Each structure stands twice: as structure tokens, then as C-alpha cells.
Amino acid sequence: MLNNVLSQILYGISGFLFGIFAVRNSHKFVAKIKEMRAVHGLSITFILKTLPAFLFFLVALFVFPILFYTRTPIGGFVYLATFIFYNMKGRARK
């Protein structure tokens, strides 16, 4: 019983930390996309330079939470809650 409780606590902590990592990097990549759009406009160069940032954002928002949720529902929930909370907090700040 104690083993299960500790495992769930650790999954929750890891969901929080992975959520913070994803939010931090997604904010960096969104800033990069905005900067590249200002420099290149909507061109092939813009698409090629921002494709890795866009793919990371999609993985952070959709793929990783699904994979995390299949391992542990608590970790996946904490990840999504952290991701949504800090994105909304960042939007309110701007």
C-alpha cells in the first residue's frame, strides 16, 4: 500500500516537472516562430525554419500526454493541468 502511494506521488511530481519543461520550451518556440515570421513572412524559409518548433509543440501538447497517461493517469492529469495552467498564466501576463 505504501509502495502504491509513493509511486503515485512520484508520478504526480514527474508530471509536474515534465509539464514545466514543456511550457518553458513551448514559450521559447512560440517566440521563435513569431520572430521568424517577422523576418521571413509566410515563405518556404519560414516553414522550414519553424517546423521543428511546431513539431515539438504538437508533441508536447498531444503525443506526450497520451503516452504519459497510458503509464499513469495521475501523472498525465498533473502534466496537462500544469501545461494548461502555466500557458493561461503566461497569456494573462502578456
Could you tell me the pTM of the whole model? 0.71
CA distance 8 to 85: 21
Q: Are 59 and 29 in contact (CB under 8 A)?
A: no
Q: Is residue 47 part of a domain?
A: yes
37 in a structural domain: yes
Number of domains in the chain: 1
**Residue 4 within any structural domain of the chain:** no
Does any domain span residue 43? yes
φ and ψ of 53, to 5 deg: -65, -40
Task: Let me know if residue 1 belongs to a domain.
Answer: no
* Buried-exposed string 48-80: b where 16+ CB fall within 10 A, e elsewhere: ebbeebeebbeebeeebbeebbeebebbbbbbb
Model pLDDT for residues 48-84, shown as the tens digit of each residue? 878 887 888 888 778 888 887 888 888 888 888 888 8
Full residue range of the structural domain in which residue 84 is found: 10-93
2 inside domain: no
**What percent of the residues of the chain are helix, what percent strand, and what percent coil, each to the nearest 5?**
95, 0, 5
- Would you say residue 19 has pLDDT above 80? yes
Given this model, what pLDDT does residue 27 score? 79
5 within a domain of the structure (yes/no): no
